[in-house]
Amino acid sequence: MTNIDELKSTGLKATLPRLKILEVFQKGTQRHMTAEDVFRVLLDERSDIGLATVYRVLTQFEQAGILLRSNFESGKAIYELNEGQHHDHFVCTSCGKVEEFYDPEIEKRQQAVAKAKGWVVEDHSMALYGQCANCAKARAQKA
């Protein structure tokens, strides 16, 4: 499916800003981005799409199910492509790096705990906060 078809299938018109922002997520090396990150990529590409437009399109993409939004402790919304597969996140408290992981044992344990408490889990998100390997190494070298 082309990007134009993908946008149309969600009820969105295929405008240039929408196509460019979708392309940033599809072709970029950074999977988790703030609106400011997206804006910087567009500036580097010499695009004239403004920050307000970026925010508006990201909100539209989230509502259409194209992007997922997470709010980690930084207070900034972090967006990623919705690929339809559940995962959780590690978040570095030093540099802000976000890394995805999936562990079937953790998922089973969460379901077991919910069942024992009489709950039926419909969805969940989990973020583990700590230091990424690079920041932990840098910290150890300073000590």
Known binding residues for Fe cation are: 86, 88, 107, 124
Q: List the alpha helices (DSSP H) in the chain.
A: 3-9, 16-27, 35-44, 51-64, 104-116, 133-142
DSSP string, 104-125: HHHHHHHHHHHHHTT-------
Query: Binding site for Zn(2+): which residues?
Result: 92, 95, 132, 135
